[in-house]
Amino acid sequence: MRLSIHGCRGSIPSCSNDTVRYGGNTSCYELNFGDFQVFFDTGSGFRTVKFGKDKTKICLYSHWHHDHIQGLPFNADIFNPANEFTICSALSTKRPLRHTLQTYFSGGYFPVDIITTLKNLNFANISELQQGFGDQFKLDWLELNHPGGAAGYSVLHDCRKFCYLCDNEYEDDQSDRLLEFCLNADVVVWDGMFTQAELGAKKGWGHSSIEQGIRFFEHSGIGRLVIGHHAPSRTDAQLDDLANYLPTGVSFAMDGMEVEI
């Protein structure tokens, strides 16, 4: 398995001289394994993604906040009719999912109704994916703690396991469920938008802290924790400073980063 990070900034694309190294694109993570190319969210980082020719291409949406969907119509490869692209989310069945994306990308919000125009976009229920590809990889999901809801995912293939937990406001009573969900995971993506010092004023905003991620990692036995959803205002220099306190096995996500799993 290989994880490619195309966007790890939270909330809004944040491009400046101060965000060059960690990147300013919003959430888009790509997992390549076997015949599959699975994307977790299509934030602005999705714009430069290249589709593999013979790959089955799937997007699993965590939720519909704009930073997780806004890149969808800016990727050139989805305009190639030969590129079948399956869109799915554990957060809803396919009809409301299609309706939500069509509303966002049409009418007063967007100039072209791409959901209607692009016939190569296929909407699926998560149960259909679980059953349809169950002999090739094991897909699981759980509900995260986020305003409006969000879904976390795990993919198990060839004894390697990846978990995507973004966006999530960690609470202590989640601990057992999250630990069980991430059991024996090789790589977990964690929402570390805030520092512990910032978290108090941001209760209910739907995000966790970097320190909560470190504590989770230390109790979990997972192989590696990758912290993303960086706050829009967090500069490269600030992330470098914070990185000094990360234990071995925990790192900050960067746009363009690749992780072998």
Q: Binding residues for Zn ion, per CB under 5 A? A: 65, 67, 167
Q: Which is nearer to Zn ion, 167 or 186 (CB)?
A: 167
Question: Shortest approach of Zn ion to residue 211 CB, angstroms?
Answer: 19
Q: How far apart, in whole angstroms, are the C-alpha atoms of residue 207 and residue 166?
A: 8
Least separation in angstroms between CB 70 and Zn ion = 11
Contact 213, 190 (CB under 8 A): yes
Nearer to Zn ion, 87 or 91 (CB): 91
Rank residues 30 and 67 by Cβ distance to Zn ion and give the closer one.
67
Shortest Å distance, C-beta 142 to Zn ion: 16
The letter for the amino acid at 86 is T
- Is 9 or 161 the residue whose CB approaches Zn ion more closely? 9
Paired residues of 38 in beta bridges: 31, 58
d(CA 205, CA 104): 22
Q: Least distance (Å) from Zn ion to the CB of residue 261? A: 23
**Residue at shortest CB range from Zn ion:** 65
CB of 39 to Zn ion, least distance (A): 15
The DSSP annotation for 214-231 comes to HHHHHHH--SEEEEE-B-
CA dihedral angle for residue 87, residue 146, residue 236, residue 217, rounded to 10 degrees: -100
Q: Which is nearer to Zn ion, 10 or 73 (CB)?
A: 10
